[in-house]
Structure 1
Amino acid sequence: MSVKPPRPYYVPVGNEEQVFKAAYRQNLSIVLKGPTGCGKTRFVEAMAHDLDRPLITVACHDDLTTADLVGRFLLHGGETEWVDGPLTRAVRDGAICYLDEVVEARQDTTVVLHPLADHRRQLPIERLGITLDAAPGFGLVVSYNPGYQSVLKDLKDSTRQRMVAIDFGFPTPDVEEKILVNEARIDHERAAELVRLGQAIRRLETGGLREVASTRVLIAAGQLIAEGLSAREAARAAIAGPLTDDSTVTRGLAEMIDVYMPDSTAD
């Protein structure tokens, strides 16, 4: 008898868990909107655990084709056989299918989601000449970052209106501190310093930053601290480095790190 794994660590910041579970029970598809690294993927993992459903995750990209999602014929042992894609496996097995950063996929690819995302809950497979009804328990969840995507990479209105939307932001400071303590295994003092640094970076108004400091990069800095790096070394490597290639902005971030991350020894 297999033992159910522990629940992925997720701290709610609002009513997102209630909205997700209500939508799932009503067979409604869900779109998660929020910045990179704010916890959308971890949230879906926690929801799949709570609902006791298998989770199939697809990282979308601009070369993702309909066949990548649905399936294709492949040669095997000299014969051609059909191999289901991740979306088809989820439909057959009653799993939750999570399409991460869905707008990175081509729009002609995401159109295949429409009959699944509305009341029909069906997946046409043209290559096989069949239409699959979603098995009980199937759920469709997609995510994207509306602040990052360009106008040319946006979710079609016809797709949006088939889904319930849940907006995500970065956690409140007290919640984010708890997350860092749990995920990076650092003390509350260091976690609080990292959170204050992250908040300061998020308040910056500069075009040289690719993204603001996400909870994900703060956790990575905490993990480096847990491995023995100084707070400043960790923050430079895990926060400043990934956020920009601009030398001027990098120097500015390094100065902020020196202010917000006091070290007991000089770097």
Structure 2
Amino acid sequence: MTTTQRFDVATTFGVKARPGLEVQGFADDTHPQIPVHKPYVFRPELLRDVLAFLHEAGGDGLFLTGPTGSGKTSLVTQVASRLNWPVQGVTCHGRMEIGALLGQFVLTNGSTRFVHGPLSVAARDGHLLILNESDLMDPSELAGLNDIIEGQPLVIAENGGEVIRPHPQFRVFATGNSAGAGDGSGLYQGVLRQNLAFMDRFRVVQVGYPEAELEKQVILGAVPKMPETIVEKMIRVAEEVRRLFLGSDQEAGELTVTMSTRTLVRWAALSLTFKGAPNVFHYALQQALTARAEPEQREAIHRIAADVFGDYWESTP
């Protein structure tokens, strides 16, 4: 994992870039922690921010914030997959402690041995550490990452005071539906206001939902048999649902569920799965999203979809 390789940005990520622009990754593509390569449409401005951080962290982490399903984690993992960069991914929760990231003793064949956790492995071997839903974790626990993010050695007292000096390619990413200030909307249960000193160690990048044309490419890439006309109508439904979910600066949103790109892909895929069934788009949308909405909101979303689809609403794809 020590042999590095230069990758051409334009050809590696399928974006427009100046000729000769390269980014460093790794030559070995066999490491089991390299994310699975999936079809992905990169947004140039977000790709630029991630690549700049990978090139030079400067003692920072990178915090990606945005609404659910906007592609925060997949952005990082799909960049890593193309650069052969192993990833240690952790989904945080309110009961997680820093010790779970460092490692723990396990019983093997009658004796105990210390097994390094994702933070220790990433820092030691130069992997990317992704803290998903980091704003669900107790801020006093996350504060334990402050020194290692800045490049200070990681000391594991539980393992006899083992000292791990961070690898030059070690990077820390965090994702969250908030930007560390808590959730004022009440939509994301369990989100906590984070420690200011911890957040001060991160660059913050806002990840919104893709533009309509880009989102269409994503859906057609995942569900290529879906007619383009239907995909465009699905995206129009999603845009209206998101508008009602996000609300405005002055007013809270009218919906408590939203339609992410992930949900759109699910809706399109299910519509093909149930092709030929009566009211297939209605049925697929219910499974993809609205079955978990309150009855009034479910009815409102289906009414929006029926208005957008028109005569297509009761047809088959």
- 1:125-164 to structure 2, matched below 5 A, reads 125-128=156-159, 129-146=161-178, 149-150=182-183, 153-164=192-203
Specify whether residues 167 and 190 from structure 1 end up closer, same or farther in structure 2 by C-alpha distance, changes over 3 A only. Answer: same
Match of 1:224 in 2: 270
Structure-2 change in CA distance of 1:71 and 1:199 (3 Å):
same
Identify the residue that residue 26 of structure 1 maps to in structure 2: 56
Select the residue among 214, 219, 237 that pairs with 1:175. 214
How far, CA to CA, are the matches of 2:61 and 2:98 in structure 1?
Answer: 19
Question: Cα distance, 1:85 vs. partner?
Answer: 1.1
Structure 1 residues 256-267: aligned runs within 5 Å: 256-261=304-309, 262-265=312-315
Larger relative contact order (C-alpha < 8 A, sep ≥ 6)? 1
What is the alpha-carbon distance in structure 1 between the residues aligned to residue 45 and residue 82 of structure 2?
15
Any idea what SS the aligned residue of 2:158 has? Answer: coil
Give the counterpart letter for 1:141 in structure 2. Answer: F
Instruction: Give the distance between the partners of 1:100 and 1:81, measured in 2 at CA.
Output: 28
Deviation at 1:137, TM superposition (A): 1.7
Alignment of 1:17-166 (within 5 A): 17-27=47-57, 28-120=60-152, 122-128=153-159, 129-146=161-178, 149-150=182-183, 153-166=192-205
Tell me, in whole angstroms, the C-alpha distance in 2 between the residues paired with 1:5 and 1:35: 23
Which ranges in structure 1 are unaligned for 5 or more consecutive residues?
none
1:5-20 correspondence runs (5 A): 7-20=37-50
CA contact (8 A) 1:91 1:134 kept: yes
The residue type equivalent to 2:199 in the other structure is: R
Match in the other structure for 1:187: 227
Secondary structure of the residue aligned to 1:83 is: strand
3-state SS of paired residue (1:171): coil
Amino acid at match of 1:190: I
Partner amino acid, structure 2, of 1:241: A
Letter paired with 1:256: I
**Partner-residue secondary structure (3-state), 1:191:** helix
SS at match of 1:124: strand
Q: Secondary structure at the match of 2:106?
A: strand
Change (3 A) 1:109 1:5: closer
Quick one: which amino acid aligns to residue 150 of structure 1? D
1:234 paired residue number: 284
Counterpart-to-counterpart distance in 2, 1:70 and 1:256: 48
1:202 is aligned, of 242, 263, 268, to 242
Confirm whether residue 253 of structure 1 aligns to residue 292 of structure 2.
no
Separation in 2 of the partners of 1:116 and 1:96? 13
Q: TM-score, normalised by structure 1?
A: 0.89
Give distance in 1, aligned partners of 2:286 and 2:182: 26
5+ unaligned residues in a row in structure 2: which ranges? 1-27, 185-190
Determine the C-alpha separation between the residues in 2 that align with 1:135 and 1:96.
Answer: 11
Deviations 1:41-66 (A, max 9, x none): 11011221233210121111112111
8 Å CA contact 2:35, 2:78 repeated in 1: no
Q: Secondary structure at the match of 1:136?
A: coil
Aligned length: 263
* Structure 1 position 6, deviation (Å): 7.4
Rounded to whole Å, the distance in 2 between the matches of 1:240 and 1:98 is: 30
Could you say what secondary structure the match of 1:98 adopts? Answer: strand
* C-alpha contact (below 8 Å) 1:62/1:105 kept by paired residues: yes
Give 1:2 deviation, angstroms: 6.3
Distance 1:8 1:78, change over 3 A: same
**CA 1:2–1:162: 2 relative to 1, 3 Å:** closer
